Amino acid sequence: MPSVLIIEDDADSRRGIVKLFEKEGWKVLEAGDGDTGVDIAVQQRPELILCDLLMPKFNGFQVCRTIRQQLQPTKIIVVSGRDYAVDRTSALEAGADEYLLKPITWEVLCDAIDRLLPELPHGPTVTKSASEPRSVPPRVKLWGVRGSLPLPGPTTLRYGGNTSCVEVRVDGEIIILDAGTGIRGLGLALEKEFGSQSIKLTLLITHTHWDHIQGLPFFAPAYNRKNLIRILGYEGARAGLGAILAGQMETPFFPVSLRELPSHLVIEELKEMEFHIGKVKVQAKFANHPGICAGYRLFTSAGSIAYMPDNEPYEPLKMQLAARNGISGAEARDFAATERGKMVDFLRDCDVAILDAQYTDEEYQQHVGWGHSSLSSVVSLALDADVGKLVLFHHDPSHDDEMIDRMVEQARLLVLKSGKTLMIDGAREGAEILLEAKLAAK
Ligand SMILES: [Zn+2]
Ligand SMILES: [Zn+2]
């Protein structure tokens, strides 16, 4: 049953429209003001919203803008008593798909719905076309492993040149961690695997630095009406997640806008640090990185995976601050130790940890405050947290294959010296980590 949300402060007018839709078998949701309307829209995600313009709390333009940022597939029809050209233009600019005049008849509405939602006569696409992801053994696959900037070419053939993107297939879910340029290859592979079947996936964004979102406009499943894409992440320091993702696809940068993408694409800003994707429990932790940046830990039936692609240890930063601002070294060290302890807790006993290892220890001395880790700091973090396997991730664009080989060797030496057990690999584009095999080995 398709659903429609009527946002209208005039109760009589609202009831009239509700009746029209109920007669045609729609599920009808109602809101008496713009603020409530936005809340219901985000929670219930109806296929269609009918919205008045002049309302208390949130006017119709604000409602359109807010909903458009968060719900791309939902169609919005503004129904207004006013026939000013400027209102029509402003409503469409704010994100409305249609502007209709009151009093409204079912024929006029029907015409607009046919234009906006041509698939509806066959039932709402969202519920009908969704199919279970195919059964793939629980695994992590790396599609983009580089930080900062893609680096194709002869020097990165073995480890790969694409930026951050990791696919996790577990417990019936397709969970994608970040949408760097690596997501292009993943999208093509998913389309090939699923054919005409719908793909249902969740994309978790750590933060909106370009190396983590730039592949999204080239993600093939987003261009296919059959697919359901849920994008989750936290609000940024200066703008919401939806606004930033839409921003990189605005006309000066890209020919197709985010809201024109035909897939059922929903962007949700996370408020909690713990939530579920199907049966997978997700725990988030904010990283020490410029702006708002999170890392995620997935608790699955085949072990747990931590992904913290951009993170800097606190101690060197705080010691630098101590030298400048007259804080005592002991205070600085205490603060850093507490924060490090929280990170160790976050990673404790996880089977696979994919962590920022952008710099060698020598390079890091020149990059304190850039938001990334040194090799020895990340190895010691994984050792203290008793991680099963550490994947050195977010390779610096200046590191060629040989350099990464050397860093992996150095990291393994550090483990040897510690007397503990920790498997270490350099993240390599195309590499797969089978989670069951990992668990069996433990
Ligand atoms: Zn990054
Ligand atoms: Zn970053």
pLDDT in tens, 315-343: 888 777 777 777 788 888 888 999 999 99
**Is the pTM for the entire model greater than 0.85?**
no
% of residues, the chain, pLDDT over 90? 67
Is the predicted pLDDT of residue 129 greater than 70, yes or no? no
CA–centroid distance, 48 to ligand 2, in Å, is 36
Enter the DSSP assignment of 392: E
Is the predicted pLDDT of residue 436 greater than 90, yes or no? no
Question: Which bound ligand lies closest to the C-alpha atom of 146?
Answer: 1
Which residues fall inside 5 Å of ion ligand 2, going by CB?
A: 209, 310
- Shortest CA distance to 31 belongs to which of 42, 23, 20? 42
Higher local confidence (pLDDT), 237 or 369: 369
% of residues, the chain, pLDDT over 70? 95
Cα 49 to Cα 28: distance, rounded to the nearest angstrom = 10
Tokens of 101: 């005049």
CA–centroid distance, 206 to ligand 1, in Å, is 9
Is the predicted pLDDT of residue 442 greater than 50, yes or no? no
Question: Which H or E run includes 12?
Answer: helix 11-23
Question: Which bound ligand lies closest to the C-alpha atom of 291?
Answer: 2
CA–centroid distance, 210 to ligand 1, in Å, is 8
- Shortest CA distance to 292 belongs to which of 246, 237, 238? 237
CA–centroid distance, 145 to ligand 1, in Å, is 10
Question: Which bound ligand lies closest to the C-alpha atom of 180?
Answer: 1
Higher local confidence (pLDDT), 442 or 321: 321
Tokens of 14: 């609202």
Is residue 438 very low, low, confident or very high in pLDDT (cuts 50, 70, 90)? very low
DSSP E strand stretches across 234-357: 264-269, 274-277, 280-286, 294-300, 303-308, 352-356
- Per-residue burial over 342-367, b = 16 or more CB atoms within 10 Å of its CB, e = otherwise: ebbebbeebbbbbbbbbbbeebbeeb
- Per-residue burial over 394-423, b = 16 or more CB atoms within 10 Å of its CB, e = otherwise: bbbbebbbebbeebbeebbebbeeeeeebb
Cis peptide before 103 (omega within 30 of 0): yes
Which residues fall inside 5 Å of ion ligand 1, going by CB?
A: 147, 211, 310
Q: Which phi and psi angles does 304 have, rounded to 5°? A: -120, 150
Enter the DSSP assignment of 366: T
Tally Cβ neighbours within 10 Å of residue 82: 11
CA–centroid distance, 239 to ligand 2, in Å, is 16
Q: What is the mean pLDDT of residues 187-213?
A: 96
CA–centroid distance, 98 to ligand 1, in Å, is 39
Q: What is the mean pLDDT of residues 170-193?
A: 97
Cα 160 to Cα 266: distance, rounded to the nearest angstrom = 30
CA–centroid distance, 425 to ligand 2, in Å, is 22
